Amino acid sequence: MSQNKVIPQSSLEKYSIAGKVFLLGEYAVLAGLPALVATLPPRFELSLSVGSTQSSFFLPSPLSPLGKLSAWAVKQGQEVLSFFFEDPLQGAGGLGASTAQFAMADLAYSRRRGEESRKWSAVWKLYQELMSDVPLLPSGADLVAQWQGGIVLFDPMDGHCSDIWPIFDWSQLLVFSATQLPGRKVVTHEHLALLAKTGFPHKNLSLISSLEKIILQGLSAVRENDADRFGKALNEYAETLSEAGLELSEAIEDRHVLRSLPGVLGVKGTGAMLSDAVVVLMRSGGLQRAHLIEVAQSRGLQLLADGLSCQMGVTCLNSV
């Protein structure tokens, strides 16, 4: 995905949105089960210009979520918007760049339609409609979480979304990015296409059932602010996907090394093949935490969050 380092002077507006990681729910959410998604920095930004054809603005692929949204908006009679995407990960991926683009552009288009209070459900529904031609439909759980901000529990079956930030101590959760490492990023849409060919999720009912039990146990632990039980759920979820062949070998190695460190309650990779990032839940303890960070960084993992902060949802910033 092309991008540029200098924001054109003609850009009119700027939008901001957080990145995301799945705490629980990868793969299972594709079968309609709930997903727990955390938003975190660094934040993506999108600048735009009306009717611009300058080469300084990137052109999204027509098959990308943003490309499909742009084509849809034009068919609805809206003006052409040219975008400039600022990616703090510089294309490494893994934190929801494509859904970030979709959400920020949707807000820009909706503001021009006079929609001052765009609801997540409307954005998610449009995303599902525009992505319906792919072999395995993405859940959109990441889109919903990024739109809303906070720590989001999303249930696609009943269309329910809630922010559970206030009910658990997220300060002991650390997040490390892995996609900057060579060969680590698994391209999500390509991975979903391969899964579809295997009949996932309909031919994986035993796996889905096992994941559902762990998700429910993890959510119960979060509601009771029980870090030990939540850490156990993280471990079991990762191990279950690993046994099903849905964890990259490098991610397995990272998980085992970090899990062995003192003070660690749970470790789980995130994203396709659990390879995008690593989330670690720890007991309180400064020295143990510092040692964990040192070991993770020695393995090439990049610290993104030393304790989660409560992120705002998609936001329109001041005019630039």
Domain 13-166+310-316 in this protein, CATH class: alpha beta
Task: Tell me what pLDDT residue 140 has.
Answer: 96
Task: Tell me what pLDDT residue 148 has.
Answer: 97
Mean pLDDT over each residue of the chain, to the nearest integer? 91
Asked, colleague to colleague, whether 13-166+310-316 and 170-306 share their fold, the answer is no
For 132-155, the pLDDT digits (tens) are: 999 999 999 999 999 999 999 999
Task: Tell me what pLDDT residue 9 has.
Answer: 45
Task: Tell me what pLDDT residue 115 has.
Answer: 87
Task: Tell me what pLDDT residue 83 has.
Answer: 87
For 68-78, the pLDDT digits (tens) are: 999 999 999 99
Q: In this prediction, what percent of the chain has a pLDDT beyond 90?
A: 79
Task: Tell me what pLDDT residue 49 has.
Answer: 72
The Cα 320–Cα 313 span in angstroms is 20
Spatial contact of 23 and 268, defined as CB atoms under 8 Å apart: yes
Q: Is the pLDDT of residue 261 over 70?
A: yes
For 304-318, the pLDDT digits (tens) are: 999 999 999 999 996
With cut-offs at 50, 70 and 90, classify the pLDDT of residue 2. very low
DSSP 121: H
Element containing residue 319 per DSSP (H, E): none
Task: Tell me what pLDDT residue 51 has.
Answer: 55
Residue with tokens 């600022």: 86
Q: What is the mean pLDDT of residues 56-72?
A: 84
| 170-306 carries CATH number 3.30.70.890 | yes
DSSP 129: H
Task: Tell me what pLDDT residue 55 has.
Answer: 43
Q: Is the pLDDT of residue 57 over 90?
A: no
Greater confidence, 81 or 7?
81
3-state SS class at 262 = coil
With cut-offs at 50, 70 and 90, classify the pLDDT of residue 50. low
Q: What is the mean pLDDT of residues 251-261?
A: 98
With cut-offs at 50, 70 and 90, classify the pLDDT of residue 6. very low
Task: Tell me what pLDDT residue 320 has.
Answer: 45
Q: What is the mean pLDDT of residues 56-76?
A: 85
168: left (phi over 0), alpha (psi -120 to 50) or beta: beta
Quote the pTM value: 0.92
**Exposure b/e, 173-190, CB count within 10 A at least 16 = b:** bbbbbbbbbeebbbebbe
For residue 214, which amino acid is it? I
Domain boundaries, the chain: 13-166+310-316, 170-306
